[in-house]
Chains A and B, each alone.
Chain A
Amino acid sequence: MKILAALQEDSRQTYTAIAKQMGLAHSTVYDRVRKMEQQKVIKNYTVLVDLEKVGFKNILAMMTIYTDPKETESVAEKLAEATEVLEVYTSLSDELLVMAKVAAANQDDLHDFVADYVAPLAGVLRIRTSIITRRLKETHFLISSYLKGLHL
């Protein structure tokens, strides 16, 4: 768990550096990381890019899709297939919902995607879409926070 926490903080650090922090042998860290990669505990190593700084002016929106309970899973799966959709969640609140974060070049493209791809999906009852105007925080769940006792 501590090796994972260290990698989440900085995945570019060497096994030697991690081993030193943990008081473990380099080979132990290497073996455990390999095992976690094989078991898909570690799914991917990627780069977080500040898209605005490299000139991408995409808009982001949160969609809440009210669905027929029989079709919720299929709506969520179809959304997950679309490249415009960055994240998909389902929820069992008062009504069965699918929530999705969507990226589009502009408002017209966003509307076209919702009208041409999402609304026609079988089981979609109605859709609320909110365009994100300001992002105050964006992070992933960090194992190090959990280890420090911050049960989020």
Chain B
Amino acid sequence: MNPDTSSRILRTVPREKAFYFFTSIGNYTGTSAASLKEFMEKINEVNAKSLEFHLYRGDFEKWVSEALEDAWLAGEIRRLQKFGLAGEALRDQLYLTVSRRLKRLVSPPGTVQF
């Protein structure tokens, strides 16, 4: 992947473009994420109800696609909707999907690290 593309996806977005975790319509948990790394960390912290709320509304894929500009990850997150996951199973799967993507962006295949 083009290093510029990786840097763009990995950047920290301004607070008005951050992701704000809600548990239902209008109920904000106080947790937000302004980068892909922060998003991955917060997946492990927020109430699982929040993950369910956003996944099935399509909010995660929309934010990843529009704010982070990562169409590939947005597609992977959209695929998760089909499995009907909930609770901790959803958290695990979402974390795995995002963390794999983050790892790939930070250390693309073929990169030799010393």
Binding site for B on A (CB under 8 A): 61, 63, 66, 107, 110-111, 114-116, 118-120, 122, 124-129, 131
Give chain B's interface secondary structure class.
Answer: strand
CA distance A122 to B15 in the complex (A): 9
Decide: B26 and A125 in contact? CB cutoff 8 A. no
Closest Cβ neighbor of B22 among chain A residues: A115
Q: Which residues of chain B come closer than 8 Å to A131, judged between CB atoms? A: 25-26
Question: Interface residue tally of chain B, by bracket?
Answer: 10 to 19
Q: A120-B16, A120-B18, A120-B20 are in contact. Are A126 and B30 (CB under 8 A)?
A: yes
CA distance A110 to B15 in the complex (A): 20
Contacts of B18-41 to chain A: CB distance below 8 A: 18, 20, 22, 25-30, 32
Decide: B15 and A127 in contact? CB cutoff 8 A. no
What would 15 A/B residue contacts be, using CB atoms closer than 8 Å?
A: A66-B30, A107-B25, A110-B26, A115-B20, A116-B16, A118-B28, A120-B16, A120-B20, A122-B15, A124-B28, A126-B30, A127-B26, A127-B27, A129-B25, A131-B25
Q: Which residues of chain A come closer than 8 Å to B20, judged between CB atoms? A: 115, 119-120
Q: Which residues of chain B come closer than 8 Å to A107, judged between CB atoms? A: 25
CA distance A63 to B26 in the complex (A): 8
CB distance from A74 to the nearest CB of B (A): 14
CA distance A128 to B20 in the complex (A): 14
CB distance from B22 to the nearest CB of A (A): 7
Q: A115-B20, A120-B15 are in contact. Are A127 and B28 (CB under 8 A)?
A: yes
Given contacts A107-B25, A114-B28, A129-B26, 15 further A-B contacts (CB under 8 A): A61-B26, A111-B22, A114-B25, A116-B16, A118-B28, A119-B20, A119-B28, A120-B15, A122-B15, A126-B29, A126-B30, A127-B27, A128-B26, A129-B27, A131-B25
Binding site for A on B (CB under 8 A): 15-16, 18, 20, 22, 25-30, 32
Closest Cβ neighbor of B54 among chain A residues: A115
Q: Which residues of chain B come closer than 8 Å to A124, judged between CB atoms? A: 28
Q: Which residues of chain B come closer than 8 Å to A61, judged between CB atoms? A: 26
CB distance from A82 to the nearest CB of B (A): 14
Decide: A126 and B28 in contact? CB cutoff 8 A. yes
CA distance A118 to B16 in the complex (A): 10
Closest Cβ neighbor of B30 among chain A residues: A126
Q: Which residues of chain A come closer than 8 Å to B22, judged between CB atoms? A: 111, 114-115, 119
Decide: A111 and B26 in contact? CB cutoff 8 A. yes
Decide: B27 and A128 in contact? CB cutoff 8 A. yes
CA distance A118 to B30 in the complex (A): 12
